[in-house]
């Protein structure tokens, strides 16, 4: 049973659905419409980038778990450095006339490391309560109560929204005002979609099922955030 593959598939489906729902919510005036074409291309590439980064994070966490390493001993800085390779491919592939992106990792390093930690802790919790032959939903119900599961999904999506907003601030273009307004509209849309999607996922897994109490916790804190 390829539990890592299942986790990556679930993450990919969630992130693409989140992106779709967010873009469906973007609204604005004429200036925003001017930037919409770029915004659509940006989000399409950005979510692919995020899925690849999540695949890396899930793989690193699962490998450490299999090796008996505690979650608190994960080298988050090393994983962070590895994610930069995915960023590089994303930026190289985002070739749009009149638009450039200058990334300063110091601006959002803490947010990304918090997201790496959040995903990693979740991988540990799920693998610790996931017997062979059981489904992802079974593992989720054994690891978390419904409200906690919803909070985790919302937090992972929120941290992605924050980083997307910061990357948007790094865009340089003659249409800077329109881009800035578009990114702010997108951020608001993402925050709305986050609440809806996390609630939908909770209902999908927990409605009609016996909810188990919270499961294994390796550590609740980390120097870079919860």
DSSP symbols for 115-179: HHHHHHHHHHHHHHT--TT--HHHHHHHH--HHHHHHHHHHHHHHHHHHHHHHHHTEE-TTHHHH
Specify the higher pLDDT residue, 46 or 162: 162
- Structural tokens at position 132: 């062979």
Specify the higher pLDDT residue, 103 or 97: 103
* Tens-digit pLDDT profile for residues 132-170: 999 999 999 999 999 999 999 999 999 999 988 887 666
* Tens-digit pLDDT profile for residues 181-211: 777 888 999 999 999 999 999 999 998 554 4
The predicted model scores a pTM of 0.83
pLDDT band at 45 (very low <50, low <70, confident <90, very high): confident
Least confident of 25-39, 57-71, 100-114, 144-158: 25-39
The domain spans of the chain are: 3-206
Q: Is 200 exposed, middle or buried (0-12, 13-18, 19+ CB in 10 A)?
A: middle
CA neighbor of 12 nearest in space, from 43, 46, 47? 47
């Amino acid at each position: 049973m390829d539990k890592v593959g299942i986790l990556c598939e679930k993450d990919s489906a969630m992130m693409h659905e989140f992106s779709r729902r967010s873009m469906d919510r973007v609204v604005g005036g004429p200036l925003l419409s001017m930037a919409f074409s770029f915004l659509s291309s940006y989000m399409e590439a950005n979510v692919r980038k995020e899925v690849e980064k999540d695949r890396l994070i899930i793989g690193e966490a699962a490998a450490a778990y299999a090796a008996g390493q505690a979650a608190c001993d994960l080298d988050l800085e090393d994983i962070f450095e590895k994610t930069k390779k995915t960023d590089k491919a994303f930026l190289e592939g985002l070739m749009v006339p009149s638009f450039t992106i200058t990334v300063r990792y110091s601006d959002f390093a803490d947010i990304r490391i918090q997201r790496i930690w959040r995903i990693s802790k979740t991988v540990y919790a799920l693998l610790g309560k996931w017997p062979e032959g059981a489904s992802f939903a079974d593992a989720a119900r054994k690891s978390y109560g419904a409200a906690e599961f919803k909070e985790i999904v919302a937090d992972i999506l929120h941290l992605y929204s924050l980083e997307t907003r910061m990357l948007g601030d790094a865009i340089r273009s003659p249409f800077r005002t329109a881009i800035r307004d578009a990114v702010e509209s997108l951020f608001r849309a993402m925050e709305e979609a986050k609440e809806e999607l996390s609630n939908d996922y909770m209902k999908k897994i927990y409605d009609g099922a016996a909810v188990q109490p919270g499961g294994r916790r390796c550590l609740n804190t980390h120097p870079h955030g919860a």
